[in-house]
Amino acid sequence: MIRKNYLDPSENKILMQSSGGVSLLYSQAAYELDQGWASPTEEQYQQLKAFQDAEMKTEFLETIEKVKFYGYVLFEACTCDYPEPNCPSVVRVGNDEINCCIQLPSNEIKEVSFKVNRIRCWKISLQVQEETELKPKLSFEYQDSPDFGQWITIYTYQAFLLSRCIQEIVTEKLKVSAGYTEMQIENAKSEYRTTPWGSLTALSKHSGVVLQKKLLKT
């Protein structure tokens, strides 16, 4: 499938100014709906199917933009250490958040939203298990408040994709807040991993974005 290369939903308005853009967005949105990636209410679902049957693409897109998880990147089943170790989790990234539907030991499902603007930094580690198997994980330092932060780890074979999605959200925020052009952002991406946030944007609570690769033996 063809998928848009951004996570800021406001960018859709630019594509919807042309018939080609509408067709591309419609193809992705219809696919997400059919695959169950988005979570519409029953009323929203009936509206979307009616617009789909009538080939009313613009109305379909205007409606699906209000649907929960529309435009999010859905990751394969994984585990995380929040709020307890080894919790199965469904992870989605979009709309400036990492959304985790976590299965607790009691089998209760807990939905948690980690806002990207509260992620101080993150890193990727590759842990060697049984000499041959690599177990990737992504850890990020999350600040619930200015005085309290904690490290949260998500164990997923898609750790590099997850890191890429976080970086894309950060880049989009920098572009909006600092007025960078697309070319400036593309040329400066590598600097964001080590450059203090305070010197670039008003997001002064961030000290930087650090991407690390580690090889560890258990």
Residues composing the chain: 218
Task: Tell me the pLDDT band of 207, cut-offs 50, 70 and 90.
Answer: very low
**Closest CA relative to residue 168, chosen from 73, 88, 102:** 73
Contact 123, 138 (CB under 8 A): yes
Average pLDDT of the segment spanning 192-197: 36
Task: Tell me the pLDDT band of 32, cut-offs 50, 70 and 90.
Answer: very high
Domains of the chain as residue ranges with CATH: 9-64 (1.20.80), 73-217 (2.30.29.30)
Task: Check whether 199 has a pLDDT greater than 50.
Answer: no
Supply the pLDDT for residue 217: 40
77-122, pLDDT tens digit by residue? 999 999 999 999 999 999 999 999 999 999 999 999 999 999 999 9
Supply the pLDDT for residue 178: 64
pTM confidence score: 0.77
Beta strands in 33-132 (DSSP E): 73-74, 78-80, 87-94, 97-103, 109-115, 119-129
Task: Tell me the pLDDT band of 14, cut-offs 50, 70 and 90.
Answer: confident
129-184, pLDDT tens digit by residue? 676 677 899 999 999 887 788 999 999 999 999 999 999 999 888 887 766 544 34
Q: For residues 128 and 213, what is the distance between their CA atoms, to the nearest angstrom?
A: 12
SS (H, E, C) 179-197: CCCHHHHHHHHHHHHCCCH
Contact 102, 88 (CB under 8 A): yes
Main-chain phi, psi angles of 58, to 5 degrees: -65, -45
Task: Check whether 196 has a pLDDT greater than 80.
Answer: no
Task: Tell me the pLDDT band of 204, cut-offs 50, 70 and 90.
Answer: very low
Contact 162, 125 (CB under 8 A): no
| Residue 9 C-beta-side C-alpha neighbours within 13 Å | 18
**Closest CA relative to residue 139, chosen from 120, 124, 157:** 124
Q: What is the CA radius of gyration of the chain?
A: 19
Query: Going by DSSP bridges, is the β-strand pair 73-74/78-80 parallel, antiparallel, or unpaired?
Result: unpaired
Task: Tell me the pLDDT band of 6, cut-offs 50, 70 and 90.
Answer: confident
Going from the C-alpha of 145 to that of each of 100, 113, 120, 140, the distances in angstroms are 19, 14, 11, 15
Task: Check whether 186 has a pLDDT greater than 60.
Answer: no
Cβ of 27: how many Cβ atoms within 10 Å? 14
Supply the pLDDT for residue 58: 95
